[in-house]
A and B are shown apart, each in its own frame.
Chain A
Amino acid sequence: GEDVEQSLFLSVREGDSSVINCTYTDSSSTYLYWYKQEPGAGLQLLTYIFSNMDMKQDQRLTVLLNKKDKHLSLRIADTQTGDSAIYFCAERTGGFKTIFGAGTRLFVKA
Protein backbone atom coordinates (compact mmCIF):
# COMPACT_ATOMS: atom_id res chain seq x y z
CA GLY A 1 0.00 0.00 0.00
CA GLU A 2 0.91 3.66 0.01
CA ASP A 3 3.36 4.61 2.73
CA VAL A 4 5.76 7.42 3.64
CA GLU A 5 8.62 6.74 6.03
CA GLN A 6 10.92 9.10 7.89
CA SER A 7 13.38 8.78 10.72
CA LEU A 8 11.86 10.10 13.95
CA PHE A 9 14.68 12.25 15.37
CA LEU A 10 17.57 14.39 14.20
CA SER A 11 19.90 16.49 16.33
CA VAL A 12 22.29 19.11 14.91
CA ARG A 13 24.36 22.00 16.20
CA GLU A 14 23.37 25.56 15.44
CA GLY A 15 25.05 26.70 12.22
CA ASP A 16 25.39 23.18 10.79
CA SER A 17 23.29 21.81 7.93
CA SER A 18 20.37 19.50 8.66
CA VAL A 19 19.29 16.78 6.26
CA ILE A 20 15.93 15.12 6.79
CA ASN A 21 15.20 12.07 4.67
CA CYS A 22 11.98 10.47 3.51
CA THR A 23 11.04 7.48 1.38
CA TYR A 24 7.70 6.89 -0.29
CA THR A 25 6.10 4.04 -2.17
CA ASP A 26 3.70 5.44 -4.76
CA SER A 27 5.53 5.79 -8.06
CA SER A 28 2.66 7.86 -9.48
CA SER A 29 3.10 10.66 -6.93
CA THR A 30 2.58 14.09 -8.48
CA TYR A 31 3.77 16.43 -5.75
CA LEU A 32 5.89 15.92 -2.68
CA TYR A 33 5.68 18.30 0.23
CA TRP A 34 7.53 19.26 3.36
CA TYR A 35 5.40 20.60 6.20
CA LYS A 36 6.72 22.11 9.44
CA GLN A 37 4.95 21.82 12.79
CA GLU A 38 6.03 24.07 15.63
CA PRO A 39 5.07 23.22 19.22
CA GLY A 40 1.37 23.62 19.89
CA ALA A 41 0.58 24.54 16.30
CA GLY A 42 -0.77 22.92 13.18
CA LEU A 43 1.28 21.97 10.14
CA GLN A 44 2.42 24.65 7.72
CA LEU A 45 3.59 24.02 4.18
CA LEU A 46 7.34 24.72 4.05
CA THR A 47 8.17 23.79 0.49
CA TYR A 48 7.21 21.35 -2.25
CA ILE A 49 8.61 19.77 -5.39
CA PHE A 50 6.95 18.53 -8.56
CA SER A 51 7.57 14.88 -9.28
CA ASN A 52 9.29 15.73 -12.57
CA MET A 53 11.98 17.82 -10.83
CA ASP A 54 15.22 16.64 -9.26
CA MET A 55 15.99 19.60 -7.07
CA LYS A 56 14.44 22.77 -5.75
CA GLN A 57 16.17 25.51 -3.81
CA ASP A 58 14.40 28.11 -1.72
CA GLN A 59 16.72 30.31 0.36
CA ARG A 60 18.14 28.03 3.10
CA LEU A 61 16.08 25.06 1.96
CA THR A 62 17.11 22.52 -0.68
CA VAL A 63 14.82 19.68 -1.68
CA LEU A 64 16.29 16.72 -3.54
CA LEU A 65 14.15 14.09 -5.22
CA ASN A 66 15.38 10.71 -6.46
CA LYS A 67 12.42 9.22 -8.27
CA LYS A 68 14.18 5.98 -9.06
CA ASP A 69 14.75 5.26 -5.38
CA LYS A 70 11.58 7.09 -4.26
CA HIS A 71 13.69 9.15 -1.89
CA LEU A 72 13.12 12.75 -0.88
CA SER A 73 15.34 14.90 1.30
CA LEU A 74 15.16 18.35 2.86
CA ARG A 75 18.40 20.18 3.58
CA ILE A 76 18.35 23.21 5.86
CA ALA A 77 21.53 25.26 5.60
CA ASP A 78 22.86 27.20 8.60
CA THR A 79 20.32 25.63 10.95
CA GLN A 80 19.03 27.96 13.65
CA THR A 81 17.34 27.25 16.99
CA GLY A 82 14.14 28.59 15.43
CA ASP A 83 14.24 25.65 13.02
CA SER A 84 13.55 23.24 15.89
CA ALA A 85 10.25 21.62 14.98
CA ILE A 86 8.72 18.47 13.54
CA TYR A 87 9.08 18.14 9.77
CA PHE A 88 6.56 16.04 7.86
CA CYS A 89 7.13 14.61 4.42
CA ALA A 90 3.95 14.09 2.40
CA GLU A 91 3.16 12.79 -1.05
CA ARG A 92 0.26 13.57 -3.30
CA THR A 93 -0.55 10.24 -4.89
CA GLY A 94 -1.90 9.62 -8.35
CA GLY A 95 -5.19 8.79 -6.68
CA PHE A 96 -5.48 12.32 -5.22
CA LYS A 97 -4.71 11.29 -1.69
CA THR A 98 -2.14 13.02 0.52
CA ILE A 99 -0.12 10.58 2.60
CA PHE A 100 1.89 11.98 5.51
CA GLY A 101 4.95 10.49 7.16
CA ALA A 102 5.21 10.24 10.95
CA GLY A 103 7.40 13.35 11.14
CA THR A 104 11.05 13.96 12.02
CA ARG A 105 11.68 15.92 15.20
CA LEU A 106 14.63 18.25 14.65
CA PHE A 107 16.57 19.35 17.72
CA VAL A 108 18.98 22.26 17.26
CA LYS A 109 21.64 22.62 19.95
CA ALA A 110 23.01 26.10 20.62
Chain B
Amino acid sequence: NAGVTQTPKFRVLKTGQSMTLLCAQDMNHEYMYWYRQDPGMGLRLIHYSVGEGTTAKGEVPDGYNVSRLKKQNFLLGLESAAPSQTSVYFCASSYGLAGLYNEQFFGPGTRLTVL
Protein backbone atom coordinates (compact mmCIF):
# COMPACT_ATOMS: atom_id res chain seq x y z
CA ASN B 1 0.00 0.00 0.00
CA ALA B 2 1.29 3.43 -0.92
CA GLY B 3 -0.78 5.19 1.77
CA VAL B 4 -1.26 8.87 0.93
CA THR B 5 0.63 10.28 -2.02
CA GLN B 6 0.85 13.86 -3.24
CA THR B 7 1.95 15.37 -6.52
CA PRO B 8 3.91 17.44 -7.21
CA LYS B 9 6.52 17.53 -4.43
CA PHE B 10 7.73 21.03 -5.29
CA ARG B 11 6.38 23.85 -7.41
CA VAL B 12 7.24 27.48 -8.07
CA LEU B 13 4.49 29.73 -9.43
CA LYS B 14 4.28 33.34 -10.44
CA THR B 15 1.58 35.53 -8.91
CA GLY B 16 -1.67 35.03 -10.74
CA GLN B 17 -0.89 31.58 -12.12
CA SER B 18 -3.09 28.61 -11.34
CA MET B 19 -2.32 25.06 -10.37
CA THR B 20 -3.83 21.90 -8.95
CA LEU B 21 -2.35 19.72 -6.24
CA LEU B 22 -3.32 16.07 -6.37
CA CYS B 23 -3.77 13.80 -3.36
CA ALA B 24 -4.45 10.09 -3.63
CA GLN B 25 -5.05 7.46 -0.95
CA ASP B 26 -5.39 3.71 -1.28
CA MET B 27 -6.78 2.93 2.18
CA ASN B 28 -10.46 3.32 1.25
CA HIS B 29 -10.77 6.21 3.70
CA GLU B 30 -13.94 8.28 3.65
CA TYR B 31 -12.44 11.47 5.02
CA MET B 32 -9.78 13.56 3.34
CA TYR B 33 -8.21 16.87 4.33
CA TRP B 34 -5.97 19.60 2.97
CA TYR B 35 -3.76 21.52 5.41
CA ARG B 36 -1.15 24.20 5.05
CA GLN B 37 1.90 24.39 7.28
CA ASP B 38 3.61 27.71 7.88
CA PRO B 39 6.66 28.41 10.08
CA GLY B 40 5.76 28.82 13.75
CA MET B 41 2.14 27.86 13.20
CA GLY B 42 0.23 24.66 13.58
CA LEU B 43 -1.33 22.91 10.65
CA ARG B 44 -4.33 24.87 9.44
CA LEU B 45 -7.22 23.13 7.75
CA ILE B 46 -8.07 24.52 4.32
CA HIS B 47 -10.86 22.22 3.13
CA TYR B 48 -12.00 18.73 3.89
CA SER B 49 -14.28 16.06 2.50
CA VAL B 50 -16.48 13.56 4.29
CA GLY B 51 -17.02 11.40 1.25
CA GLU B 52 -17.00 11.18 -2.52
CA GLY B 53 -18.72 14.17 -4.08
CA THR B 54 -18.67 16.26 -0.87
CA THR B 55 -16.44 19.10 0.26
CA ALA B 56 -16.50 21.57 3.13
CA LYS B 57 -14.59 24.65 4.20
CA GLY B 58 -12.01 24.50 6.92
CA GLU B 59 -10.29 27.24 8.85
CA VAL B 60 -8.55 29.04 5.94
CA PRO B 61 -10.47 28.29 2.70
CA ASP B 62 -10.14 31.63 0.88
CA GLY B 63 -8.23 31.45 -2.40
CA TYR B 64 -8.57 27.67 -2.69
CA ASN B 65 -11.06 25.29 -4.25
CA VAL B 66 -11.31 21.52 -3.92
CA SER B 67 -12.98 18.59 -5.59
CA ARG B 68 -13.57 14.96 -4.62
CA LEU B 69 -14.89 13.31 -7.75
CA LYS B 70 -13.48 9.92 -6.77
CA LYS B 71 -13.21 8.52 -3.26
CA GLN B 72 -9.49 8.00 -3.51
CA ASN B 73 -8.60 11.45 -4.86
CA PHE B 74 -8.82 14.94 -3.37
CA LEU B 75 -7.70 17.87 -5.49
CA LEU B 76 -6.71 21.30 -4.22
CA GLY B 77 -6.82 24.17 -6.72
CA LEU B 78 -5.34 27.63 -6.63
CA GLU B 79 -7.05 29.74 -9.29
CA SER B 80 -4.87 32.84 -8.97
CA ALA B 81 -1.84 32.24 -6.79
CA ALA B 82 -0.65 34.91 -4.34
CA PRO B 83 2.62 35.14 -2.40
CA SER B 84 0.63 34.60 0.81
CA GLN B 85 -0.06 31.08 -0.44
CA THR B 86 3.62 30.17 -0.26
CA SER B 87 3.53 27.23 2.15
CA VAL B 88 3.89 23.50 2.56
CA TYR B 89 0.63 21.73 1.76
CA PHE B 90 -0.27 18.42 3.35
CA CYS B 91 -3.04 16.08 2.41
CA ALA B 92 -4.37 13.61 4.97
CA SER B 93 -7.04 10.96 5.16
CA SER B 94 -8.84 9.12 7.92
CA TYR B 95 -11.27 6.25 8.25
CA GLY B 96 -13.74 8.18 10.39
CA LEU B 97 -14.26 11.20 12.56
CA ALA B 98 -14.56 9.76 16.03
CA GLY B 99 -11.66 8.91 18.30
CA LEU B 100 -9.00 6.68 16.84
CA TYR B 101 -10.97 6.32 13.64
CA ASN B 102 -9.80 9.88 13.19
CA GLU B 103 -6.13 8.91 13.12
CA GLN B 104 -5.02 10.95 10.18
CA PHE B 105 -2.53 9.56 7.68
CA PHE B 106 -0.49 12.24 5.99
CA GLY B 107 1.13 12.55 2.61
CA PRO B 108 4.74 13.76 2.26
CA GLY B 109 3.74 17.33 1.44
CA THR B 110 4.02 19.76 -1.47
CA ARG B 111 6.31 22.74 -1.08
CA LEU B 112 4.81 25.65 -3.04
CA THR B 113 6.52 28.97 -3.61
CA VAL B 114 4.64 31.88 -5.19
CA LEU B 115 6.83 34.66 -6.49
Which A residues lie at the B interface, using CB under 8 A? 4, 8, 30-31, 33, 40-45, 48, 88, 92, 96-103
Contacts and interface: CB of A to CB of B under 8 A. Distances in A.
Smallest CB-CB A-B distances: 4 pairs: A42-B106, A100-B42, A100-B43, A43-B106
A102 B99 CA distance: 22
Contact of B102 (A4, A31, A43, A100): A31
Contacts of A103: 42
| Most chain A Cβ neighbours within 10 Å, of B4, B40, B92, B104 | B104
A98 B102 contact: yes
A105 B107 CA distance: 20
Interface of B: 4, 35, 40-43, 45, 90, 92, 97-100, 102-104, 106-109
Contact of B99 (A8, A31, A40, A42): A31
Contacts of B43: 43, 88, 100
A92 B99 contact: yes
B101 to A, nearest CB: 10
A42 B42 CA distance: 13
Nearest to B6: A42
Contacts, number: 48
Nearest to A103: B42
B108 A43 contact: no
A98 B48 CA distance: 12
A4 B98 CA distance: 19
B104 A45 contact: yes
B104 A98 contact: yes
B95 to A, nearest CB: 12
B2 to A, nearest CB: 13
Contacts of B102: 31, 92, 96, 98
A95 B106 CA distance: 22
Nearest to A48: B100
A23 to B, nearest CB: 13
Contacts of B97: 96
A75 B105 CA distance: 23
Contacts of A97: 45
Contacts of A30: 98-99
